[in-house]
Structure 1
Amino acid sequence: MDKTERKAWNANHKTLKEMLRRPEKHEEAVQLFLTQHSLLHTISNQESLAAALLDDLTESTFRKYPVKRPDTKNSIAWHLWHVTRIEDMTMNILVAGRKQVLSTANWLEQLHIPFEHSGNDMSEADIAKLSKEIDFKALLLYRQAVGKHTQEIISQLEAGQFRLKVESDRINRLFKEKAVAEDSTWLAEYWSKKTIAGLVLMPATRHIFLHLNKCIRIKERHQKMVDLRDGKEAVKRI
């Protein structure tokens, strides 16, 4: 996605917000959501923001922590883990009331990390551990699985359901299943005030969009610095 396509994504997100308020626009809203959401994942053959991030992404760039950015110091690994966990728990627990994707297929074992929560309020030591140890390929497969589940969930909603509030027992499940850390009660409280439409507009779309853009900026800066370093070293050898 280039700058023009990102602007179009933002414009379509505003249109989606308006559609979600109108039950008579339900089918159109679902289709627009599926398009917007697909542009944040690699679950289809179309060009996406996720694909732009992964293009030429090196493992050292993926794992680098901390990074020097005014809006984040967290690694790309952490950002991808964070948005995927948020999407998994909000869509599967809060919207659909079913199992998280993380609870299937031994994902934690495949990912080689001990963390089940969203990564909010995570210590620097734990971010460093996650950045170093998470399995890159498994994380991408987990993201893909979460994305597919989200599209199934939203496609199965009926007209009027976007207006429904999140059920309190589903909020409680976030803590029982260690999806949200005890230190991050503010996050559960924030979601408890949302409608299904609110969850669709932020965790499932715009939240991912914002974090992927951060990741791309991290990648571009880090790999530019590597190129400059390599260039200087090459000059020294001449």
Structure 2
Amino acid sequence: MKYFGEGLSEEHKALNKVIRKKQSTKDAINIFLDIHKQLHRTNIKDREENETDRLFEDLEPREYAIMPGKDDETIAWVVWHIARIEDLTMGILAARGNQLFDEDWSRKINSPIKDTGNALTDEEIISFSKQVNCEELLNYRSAVGEKTREIVSRFTYEDMIRDVNEADLMKIKTEGGVTPQKDSEWLLEFWGNKDVAGLLLMPPTRHVMLHLNDCCKWKEKIRTRTKFFLE
């Protein structure tokens, strides 16, 4: 059942059709930026409320740390997970530069980890979700989104078709973006099989669409049920 992003799948299909066509690079960038904008909270200068705003604007702190069912995660974990993956893949792999996350962000968020959270157990996800500062976590995700937009706005056709660089994958590993655990390290192989266009089609777009849809579903469960898997 779809809870979030009506029409985004169609836009994503349109992006997929043009993203590797040389004559359509500008169109691809514009489509990407339109999809991406809807997946992030709006800023103060552009206060046209979107679905992402409505998802997060009235969440209570405890609601970020509830795992509704045994096959679910928490909203706090999702925000961290999608933000970290976008930061790593866009900043390091797509831009061949640096991630935004640093000791200052780690301190403000109060995160016990710096990887994507893929290998956390259910109990670790709950502990993480209760520990982090969710407002700062949302601020970090917004900052990552702004950086992504700056990066992609400058892309050329040659950037789009460039393969992911092995040295950049190792940089992610060295900086602790993934851990040696199987459930985490597989990400390097997954990203390593893509070109930059392939990255744009997944971590900052499709991947986020799926996870925000989950969050909307969980928000409804949290507000209509009295018993949860973990909290």
Whether the TM-score (by the shorter chain) exceeds 0.5 is: yes
SS in 2 for 1:102: coil
- Kindly indicate whether the alpha-carbon contact (under 8 Å) linking 1:39 and 1:47 is maintained by their aligned counterparts in 2: no
1:61 aligns with 2:60: no
Identity %: 33
CA RMSD of aligned residues (A): 1.8
Unpaired segments ≥5 residues, structure 1: 229-238
- Supply the distance in 2 between the matched residues of 1:141 and 1:16 (Cα, whole angstroms): 27
Which structure would you say has the larger RCO, counting Cα contacts within 8 Å and 6 or more residues apart? 2
1:161 aligns with 2:162: no
Counterpart in 1 of 2:30? 31
SS in 2 for 1:171: helix
SS in 2 for 1:119: coil
SS in 1 for 2:115: coil
Q: 1:149-228 alignment to 2 at 5 Å?
A: 149-183=147-181, 184-225=184-225
- Kindly indicate whether the alpha-carbon contact (under 8 Å) linking 2:42 and 2:53 is maintained by their aligned counterparts in 1: no
Matched to 1:63, the amino acid is A
C-alpha distance after superposition, 1:87-113 (max 9, x if no partner): 000000111122211127x00000111
Report the count of equivalent residues. Answer: 221
- Kindly indicate whether the alpha-carbon contact (under 8 Å) linking 2:42 and 2:50 is maintained by their aligned counterparts in 1: no
Counterpart in 2 of 1:13? 12
- Supply the distance in 2 between the matched residues of 1:47 and 1:35 (Cα, whole angstroms): 14
> TM-score, normalised to structure 1's length?
0.88
Matched to 2:205, the amino acid is T
- Supply the distance in 1 between the matched residues of 2:206 and 2:187 (Cα, whole angstroms): 16
> CA offset at residue 82 of structure 1?
0.4
- Kindly indicate whether the alpha-carbon contact (under 8 Å) linking 1:165 and 1:195 is maintained by their aligned counterparts in 2: yes
Counterpart in 1 of 2:99? 100
> CA offset at residue 86 of structure 1?
0.5
> CA offset at residue 134 of structure 1?
0.5
SS in 1 for 2:112: coil
> CA offset at residue 46 of structure 1?
3.0
> CA offset at residue 123 of structure 1?
2.4
Counterpart in 1 of 2:114? 116
- Kindly indicate whether the alpha-carbon contact (under 8 Å) linking 1:49 and 1:212 is maintained by their aligned counterparts in 2: no
Matched to 1:172, the amino acid is M
> CA offset at residue 128 of structure 1?
1.9
Q: 1:50-89 alignment to 2 at 5 Å?
A: 50-64=52-66, 66-68=67-69, 72-89=71-88
> CA offset at residue 189 of structure 1?
0.4
Matched to 2:123, the amino acid is A
Larger mean CA deviation between 24-33 and 54-63 belongs to 54-63
- Kindly indicate whether the alpha-carbon contact (under 8 Å) linking 1:41 and 1:50 is maintained by their aligned counterparts in 2: yes
- Kindly indicate whether the alpha-carbon contact (under 8 Å) linking 2:68 and 2:221 is maintained by their aligned counterparts in 1: no
C-alpha distance after superposition, 1:52-109 (max 9, x if no partner): 2113212111111x3216xx321110011100000000000111122211127x0000
- Supply the distance in 2 between the matched residues of 1:98 and 1:126 (Cα, whole angstroms): 31
SS in 2 for 1:222: helix
> CA offset at residue 119 of structure 1?
0.6
Name segments (4+ residues, structure 1) moved above 6 Å: none
More helix by share: 1
> TM-score, normalised to structure 2's length?
0.90
- Kindly indicate whether the alpha-carbon contact (under 8 Å) linking 2:95 and 2:151 is maintained by their aligned counterparts in 1: yes
Unpaired segments ≥5 residues, structure 2: none
> CA offset at residue 126 of structure 1?
2.2
- Kindly indicate whether the alpha-carbon contact (under 8 Å) linking 1:43 and 1:148 is maintained by their aligned counterparts in 2: no
- Supply the distance in 1 between the matched residues of 2:121 and 2:220 (Cα, whole angstroms): 26
Quick check: which has more Rg, 1 or 2?
A: 1
